[in-house]
Amino acid sequence: MTELTFSFPCNDEQLIGIIHLPEQCRKTGILMLSAGELQYRAGCARQLVTFARKFARRGTAVMRFDQRGIGDSVGDMGVYQDLGPDINTAIAQFRAQVPGLETVVLWGGCDAAAAIMINAHSDPQVSGWILSNPFLATDKVKAIVSRQQLLQRLLQPDFYRKLLVKRSLIAAYLRTAIARPFKKRSPMTGAGESSVAAPKAVKIPADLPIKMQQGLADFKGSTLLVMSERSLVRQQFDAFTARHKRWKTALRSPDVTRVDVESADQTFSTPAAQQAFIAASIEWLEAGGN
């Protein structure tokens, strides 16, 4: 296996890509998008390196790249519908660097999964998607899920047992809250005013779930959904899609395969969860899922 690092242009900015190249390549490669907005080089970002090398050792070329404004790539960070140019130029560069590729599978989790669904549903070069815990949590979705979780909790007997046991703690908390002097708090520390500016919030489009559903319905390739049991993003996705007929129809398509990973969190942070994720992906790819 060879690993190649290179830069390529996207809308007058320079993006950084890394290709994991096996000695003999399959005709389908995997293009991995970074997720989670600003990332550091450990955690789920480092996890992509591990996954990419596993695929490459099995004969699948993989390209990882930093979208504009993320990691080593320059420019303003884009999200969701802004990432079409990044994805398109990355696909072109991947195929130019690995001439034997005929099709590409896009890989992304959370907001990267959402970006793929919105921007990459009509490209004939894209034969498949591997998506984990797609993010569609607009304020409306969060409100729906929070209400459902509250109602479910109110129906559980142990909630009231804990409430009775902790009633003295609740009273003490209320007394402390009332006695605490009011003062302006910084969004970063919760203390007094600070000169440190909070990170700029990413604005989530209100029509995000609609565009994601339309993209999934229009996509002619195959999709693997890998979902985490303990992920709040997964819970929000399931709660919202279960309420909408078009989402349910799209997810029931024979071209959509879903795998649920028991006890996994949003980023598949444990070795067992990572192994389950990679095993499901390999099985789907080798079974002709794309």
CATH code of the domain containing 22: 3.40.50.1820
Query: Is residue 121 pLDDT above 60, yes or no?
Result: yes
Average pLDDT of the segment spanning 7-30: 94
Query: Is residue 133 pLDDT above 90, yes or no?
Result: yes
Average pLDDT of the segment spanning 237-263: 95
Q: What is the 3-state secondary structure (H, E, C) of 11-55?
A: CCEEEEEEEEECCCCCCEEEEEECCCCCCCCCHHHHHHHHHHHHH
Average pLDDT of the segment spanning 263-267: 92
Residues 108, 219 within the same domain: yes
Residues 66, 209 within the same domain: yes
User: Do residues 83 and 18 make contact, with C-beta atoms less than 8 angstroms apart?
Assistant: no
Do the domain assignments include residue 195? Answer: no
Q: pLDDT per residue over 147-177, tens digit each?
A: 776 777 677 787 677 767 666 556 665 565 5
Residues 107, 122 within the same domain: yes
Residues 45, 92 within the same domain: yes
Residues 230, 114 within the same domain: yes
Provide the pLDDT for residue 99. 93
Do the domain assignments include residue 150? Answer: yes
Do the domain assignments include residue 238? Answer: yes
Q: For residue 164, count other CB atoms closer than 10 A to its CB.
A: 8
Residues 271, 225 within the same domain: yes
SS3 category, 151 = helix
- The pLDDT-based confidence of 207 (bands split at 50, 70, 90) is confident
Provide the pLDDT for residue 81. 79
User: Do residues 111 and 78 make contact, with C-beta atoms less than 8 angstroms apart?
Assistant: no
Provide the pLDDT for residue 186. 44
Residue ranges making up the domain that contains 45: 2-136+205-286
Residue 65 parent element (H or E): strand 62-65
Torsion angles phi and psi, residue 253, rounded to 5: -60, 145
Average pLDDT of the segment spanning 129-145: 84
Residues 39, 166 within the same domain: no
- The pLDDT-based confidence of 210 (bands split at 50, 70, 90) is very high
Residues 163, 103 within the same domain: no
Do the domain assignments include residue 60? Answer: yes
**103: β partners:** 28
Query: Is residue 194 pLDDT above 50, yes or no?
Result: no
Provide the pLDDT for residue 137. 78
SS3 category, 225 = strand
Provide the pLDDT for residue 273. 95
Provide the pLDDT for residue 20. 97
The rounded distance, in Å, linking the Cα atoms of 234 and 238 is 6
Query: Is residue 103 pLDDT above 70, yes or no?
Result: yes
Q: What does pLDDT average to over the chain? A: 84
| Sheet containing 103-109, strands listed edge to edge, beginning at the edge strand earlier in sequence | 2-10, 13-21, 62-65, 28-33, 103-109, 126-132, 222-228, 256-261
37: left (phi over 0), alpha (psi -120 to 50) or beta: left
Residues 153, 279 within the same domain: no
User: Do residues 268 and 261 make contact, with C-beta atoms less than 8 angstroms apart?
Assistant: yes
Residues 50, 86 within the same domain: yes
Provide the pLDDT for residue 187. 44
Residues 229, 282 within the same domain: yes
Residues 88, 31 within the same domain: yes
Do the domain assignments include residue 198? Answer: no
Do the domain assignments include residue 184? Answer: no
When mean pLDDT is compared across 159-163, 204-208, 240-244, 251-255, the lowest value belongs to: 159-163
How many distinct structural domains can be found in the chain?
2
Do the domain assignments include residue 197? Answer: no
Alpha helices in the chain (DSSP H): 43-57, 84-97, 111-119, 139-154, 157-165, 167-179, 208-218, 232-241, 245-251, 271-286
Provide the pLDDT for residue 4. 93
- The pLDDT-based confidence of 195 (bands split at 50, 70, 90) is very low
Provide the pLDDT for residue 193. 42
Provide the pLDDT for residue 36. 61
Average pLDDT of the segment spanning 112-129: 95
Do the domain assignments include residue 155? Answer: yes
Query: Is residue 138 pLDDT above 80, yes or no?
Result: no
Provide the pLDDT for residue 46. 76
